[in-house]
């Protein structure tokens, strides 16, 4: 591990990072995005040059899972009681009144689904721009549309009814060919939060098509993803990246990170993994083997073919927990506007043209 380099001008979201990380992001021609519901932010992390990173934190209400539709240049973000869909625009970014000629794209809010408080965890774009979400509160996978708060599309067969009881802590979802293929949960209970009884040892992976459990007794599985036709999952209670053998239910550990791993995204051969600081007041987390060492929130770059660590970033304040992480390919300095200020109201786009309109901030 190389010496860490301090990030410049990042107060209050200060961090340190290894010297390889800015160079790696620049080489990969990408930025990173993380959601942290603890800090209430969606944060873009970009290479300023080969030596320095720059961050852009944007405030949202309990941001959780989010997804990119790279073909459509869209981003969808699950918040406390809504899902916001953003559309990227390079021209508006270039002429952003507050910082012209600074950003190479800007994600602007274009649609909001008022879902209600469903505790949506993972969120992904599927086929035909369909938005699939993990409705943790109701223990099911859902589609979003403008007719209902949510449309159930699948639930584990042991869940007998759809009620707001978080019965098995369904949290993760992996898509294949644009449709949900695997789902992760903390247990097989069918009563209110019954997963808590075996939270660190009772995790499972479901095959959505067959409704069967393909892996069991997992230590808090999160963020299942299909990469190169293989199923990977983060085992949060042991700090491991694992590759699941669907035929046998066993898994191989690709790499081990000392901490509560959650959220990962692959670009080329590099997998970026989020690690959260353990909550000191949690009796469950205090029992984990790495509890005393898991005192930092990090992003770790792993070279997937070899399992070796290629670089890392560590937050020194403000950010204690990461839920989701995604690579933004082809973007070196993205921006995003929330709906909490009036800035986004001036960003107007029509087919073939864009405008920054003057905004009257006075109350009518």
pLDDT tens, position by position, 113-148: 999 999 999 999 999 999 999 999 999 999 999 999
Element (DSSP H or E) covering residue 27: helix 20-28
What CATH number did the domain enclosing 48 receive? Answer: 2.120.10.30
Q: Is residue 167 very low, low, confident or very high in pLDDT (cuts 50, 70, 90)? A: very high
Q: How confident is the model at residue 358 (pLDDT cuts 50, 70, 90)?
A: confident
> pLDDT by residue (tens digit) across 258-295?
899 999 999 999 999 999 998 766 666 666 777 666 78
> What pLDDT, on the 0 to 100 scale, is given for residue 295?
82
Q: Which domain holds residue 183?
A: 21-356
Most confident range, picked from 2-6, 7-11, 255-259: 255-259
125 contacts: CB under 8 Å, gap ≥ 6? 67, 68, 69, 72, 74, 76, 131, 132
Contact 75, 324 (CB under 8 A): no
Residues 6+ apart with CB under 8 A from 127: 177, 178, 179
β pairing state of 151-154 and 140-143: antiparallel
113 within domain boundaries: yes
Instruction: Compute φ and ψ for 15, nearest 5 degrees.
Output: -155, 165
Extended strands (E) in 148-250? 151-154, 172-176, 179-185, 203-207, 213-218, 221-227, 230-235, 240-244
Structural domain includes residue 39: yes
- Please tell me the predicted confidence (pLDDT) of residue 362: 42
Residue 10 lies in a domain: no
What is the structure's pLDDT at 5?
Answer: 46
Residue 304 in contact with residue 28, Cβ under 8 Å? no
Q: How confident is the model at residue 364 (pLDDT cuts 50, 70, 90)?
A: very low
How many domains does one find in the chain?
1
Asked if residue 1 is part of any domain, the answer here is: no
pLDDT at position 4 is: 46
Q: Please report whether residue 14 resides in a domain.
A: no
SS3 285: helix
The angle formed by the CA atoms of residues 126, 127 and 132, to the nearest 5 degrees, is 30
Residue 94 inside a domain? The answer is: yes
Residue 289 near residue 29 (C-beta atoms within 8 A) = no
Task: Provide mean pLDDT across the span 343-361.
Answer: 90
| For residues 311-334, average pLDDT | 96
Which carries the bigger pLDDT value, residue 294 or residue 107?
107
Which pLDDT score, from 0 to 100, does residue 6 have?
Answer: 47
pLDDT interval class at 324 (50, 70, 90): very high
- Assess if residue 362 is contained within a domain: no
Identify the pLDDT of residue 291: 65
- Is position 331 within any domain? yes
| Full-model pTM | 0.93
Measured distance CA(141)–CA(155) in Å, rounded: 6
């Amino acid at each position: 591990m190389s010496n860490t380099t301090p990030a410049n001008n990042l107060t209050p979201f200060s961090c340190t990072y290894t010297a390889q990380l800015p160079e790696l992001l620049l080489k990969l021609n990408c930025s990173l995005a993380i959601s942290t519901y603890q800090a209430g932010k969606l944060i873009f992390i970009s290479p300023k040059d080969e030596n320095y990173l720059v961050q852009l934190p944007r405030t949202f209400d309990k941001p959780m899972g989010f997804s990119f539709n790279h073909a459509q240049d869209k981003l969808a973000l699950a918040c406390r009681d809504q899902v916001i869909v953003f559309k990227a625009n390079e021209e508006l970014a270039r002429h952003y009144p507050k910082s012209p000629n600074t950003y190479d794209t800007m994600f602007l809010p274009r649609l909001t689904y008022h879902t209600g408080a469903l505790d949506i965890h993972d969120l992904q774009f599927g086929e035909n721009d369909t938005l699939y979400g993990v409705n943790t509160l109701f223990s099911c996978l859902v589609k979003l549309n403008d007719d209902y708060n949510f449309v159930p599309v699948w639930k584990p067969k042991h869940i007998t009814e759809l009620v707001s009881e978080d019965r098995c802590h369904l949290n993760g979802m992996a898509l294949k060919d644009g449709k949900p293929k695997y789902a992760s949960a903390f247990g097989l209970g069918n009563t209110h939060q019954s997963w808590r009884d075996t939270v660190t040892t009772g995790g499972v992976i479901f095959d959505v098509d067959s409704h069967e459990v393909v892996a069991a007794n997992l230590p808090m599985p999160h963020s299942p993803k299909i990469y190169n036709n293989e199923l990977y999952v983060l085992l949060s209670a042991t700090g491991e990246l694992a590759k699941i053998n669907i035929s046998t239910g066993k898994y191989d550990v690709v790499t081990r990170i000392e901490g509560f791993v959650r959220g990962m995204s692959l670009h080329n051969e590099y997998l970026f993994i989020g690690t959260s600081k353990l909550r000191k007041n949690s009796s469950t987390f205090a029992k984990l083997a790495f509890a005393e060492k898991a005192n930092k929130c990090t992003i770790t770059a792993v070279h997937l073919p070899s399992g070796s660590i290629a670089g890392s970033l560590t937050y020194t304040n403000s950010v204690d927990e990461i839920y989701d992480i995604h690579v933004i390919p082809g973007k070196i300095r993205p921006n995003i506007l929330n709906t909490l200020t009036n800035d986004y109201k001036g960003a107007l786009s029509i087919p073939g043209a864009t405008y920054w309109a003057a905004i009257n901030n006075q109350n009518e």
